Amino acid sequence: MDHPLIGLPIEDLDTPTLLLDGPACDRNVRRMAEFFRDRACRLRPHFKNHKCTALAHRQQQAGFTVGFTCAKLGEAEVLAAAGIRDLLIANQVVGRRKTARLIELAGRADLTVAVDHPEQIAALSEAASGAGVTVGVLVEVDVGMGRCGVAPGEPALELARLVVGRPGLRFRGLQAYEGHVVYQTDFDERARQVREAMRHALETRKLIEDRGIEVAAVSGGATSTYRITGALDGVDEIQAGTYPTMDWRYRQNAPEFEVALSILARVISRRAGLAVLDVGAKGVGSDFGPPRVKGYDVEIRLPLSEEHCIVRNAPDWPLGQTVELLPSHACTTCNLYRAMVVHADGRVADVWPIEGSGRLQ
């Protein structure tokens, strides 16, 4: 049955509401897919951006994808329930109960997980072989981000050797995320830094292959680096996440995509030069800066109130006026909502549940 909001003018919606400009999102999705048309490299979109399976299906239908990337086991469970079966968890899954859940999921999906520690490999192997399933494994290489992963070269080779031939595990290659350079605003400098970072992964690939171990995939990349990382010989998968929704901050580095995500907010209090909107830190991610107001050059200062944005130098908005806030960070924003309202031509076109919202485990 159609959702009761369909057809409503968006300015009539209760606020705050998470909005997605349907046509803009479609253009973003098609544009990214087209980059991969004549390449060996494939797109493995990162689900963490929006956590919405309806949107994930659109990404898949646009073509040139090879499954999805997830940040968490819970996200992979959501995608599997929606029928998407080639799943990479690009992080370490640690802990007895969570490993058991991962093995259960591996029984009904083509599941790959990142590892960076011998103990993690041993625990995965024991659980997978005990259950009679096979889990794909990427050894995570730290290419400069300084978060997870082992050092490139010999330490990565050593882990790959630990995986190869281990019961219940299948060595698939390397996870290598150049996350420390994705926000470099100058494209040429970013390209230089990306190549320098990914060189570590590609040299490690060669080292492993030289020892006769097959590397099916080197997986990495982002919305701001896909044109660089995705053009490198030896990179097989790009894990871009933000491109369908975008946000104002990331658009500075990927201007070919449109900001399709916004939060509809309403003026609930006002006085000369100041307007208060009914959304705050609980309704818009501000970890990368304050939101902007679409179409207006106004200032919102941090920290936000929990349920209010205070707009300085506000124009003459009447009480009840709706505005669209453009978030600085799409991923932490989508995580705050249970659904996104898809709109076209100023009206509600659809309502998509965000099934992965709050799936942190």
Give the per-residue contact string, 102-141, with a second copy (x = CB under 8 A; - = no).
--------------xx-xx---------------------
Among 308, 344, 350, 351, the residue binding a second copy under the rule CB under 8 A is: 308
CB of 231 to a second copy, least distance (A): 26
Give the per-residue contact string, 33-62, with a second copy (x = CB under 8 A; - = no).
---------------x--------------
Q: Which residues pair with 311 in a beta bridge?
A: 275, 300
Q: For the chain, report the end-to-end CA distance as a whole number of angstroms.
A: 32
Question: Per CB under 8 A, which region of 59-67, 77-85, 189-197, 274-282 contacts a second copy?
Answer: 274-282
- The letter for the amino acid at 54 is A
Half-sphere exposure of 234 (CA within 13 A, CB side): 19
The pair of structure tokens assigned to 63 is 């073509």
Complex with a second copy: residue 206 or 312, whichever CB lies closer? 312
Among 336, 341, 342, 348, the residue binding a second copy under the rule CB under 8 A is: 336
d(CA 61, CA 149): 32
DSSP assignment letter at 334: H
Nearest Cα neighbor of 193 from 245, 228, 167 is 228
Rg (CA), the chain: 22
Nearest Cα neighbor of 83 from 59, 108, 103, 107 is 108
Complex with a second copy: residue 67 or 241, whichever CB lies closer? 241
Complex with a second copy: residue 17 or 219, whichever CB lies closer? 17
Among 4, 295, 303, 346, the residue binding a second copy under the rule CB under 8 A is: 303
CB of 270 to a second copy, least distance (A): 8
Q: 81-100: which residues touch a second copy (CB under 8 A)?
A: 91-98
Contact between 268 and a second copy by CB under 8 A: the answer reads yes
Contact between 313 and a second copy by CB under 8 A: the answer reads no
Among 42, 44, 50, 72, the residue binding a second copy under the rule CB under 8 A is: 72
User: What order do you get walking across the sheet with 169-175 strand by strand?
Assistant: 42-43, 237-238, 217-220, 169-175, 135-140, 110-115, 86-89, 68-70
CB of 15 to a second copy, least distance (A): 6
**CB distance 262 to 254 below 8 Å:** no
Give the per-residue contact string, 139-178, with a second copy (x = CB under 8 A; - = no).
-------xxxx-----------------------------
d(CA 17, CA 29): 22
Contact between 180 and a second copy by CB under 8 A: the answer reads no
Nearest Cα neighbor of 250 from 47, 49, 27 is 49
Alpha helices in the chain (DSSP H): 22-35, 53-61, 73-81, 96-106, 118-131, 154-163, 187-210, 226-229, 248-251, 330-334
Contact between 7 and a second copy by CB under 8 A: the answer reads no
Contact between 346 and a second copy by CB under 8 A: the answer reads no
Task: Write out the residues near a second copy by the rule CB under 8 A.
Answer: 12-17, 48, 71-72, 91-98, 101, 116-117, 119-120, 146-149, 266-270, 274, 276, 278-279, 281-283, 285-288, 302-308, 310, 319-320, 331-332, 335-338, 357-358, 360-361
